[in-house]
Amino acid sequence: DTEVTQTPKHLVMGMTNKKSLKCEQHMGHRAMYWYKQKAKKPPELMFVYSYEKLSINESVPSRFSPECPNSSLLNLHLHALQPEDSALYLCASRRLAGEISETQYFGPGTRLLVL
């Protein structure tokens, strides 16, 4: 099973709403990632969790709050977003084997529209 799942597939929210994006993998991967992707641009790293601990935060605004409840799950809590936050949010996971750079497996993404 090389699948990363994400819910919901689409999300429309107002600037005062609170919502959460969910990501799940059962490949035993111990690194999980959140990316933001705008149209026609490469994925832009937001957060990295290694062994369920936040290891990298790429200066993301506090209106985005990640959470890793266990080794299979990754959440992204959204609050008071701006219209410019509308994008495709991708989750990815990767097996950790020392510091060898290995493949990242991407989920299908959540298409977020902030009104």
Residues that bind other proteins in the complex, under the rule CB under 8 A: 31, 40-43, 45, 48, 50, 55-56, 88, 90, 94, 96, 99-109
Is-contact 4 35, C-beta < 8 A?
A: no
Nearer to other proteins, 17 or 104 (CB): 104
Nearer to other proteins, 17 or 52 (CB): 52
CB of 78 to other proteins, least distance (A): 19
State how far the alpha carbon of 30 is from the alpha carbons of 7, 13, 18, in Å.
20, 31, 28
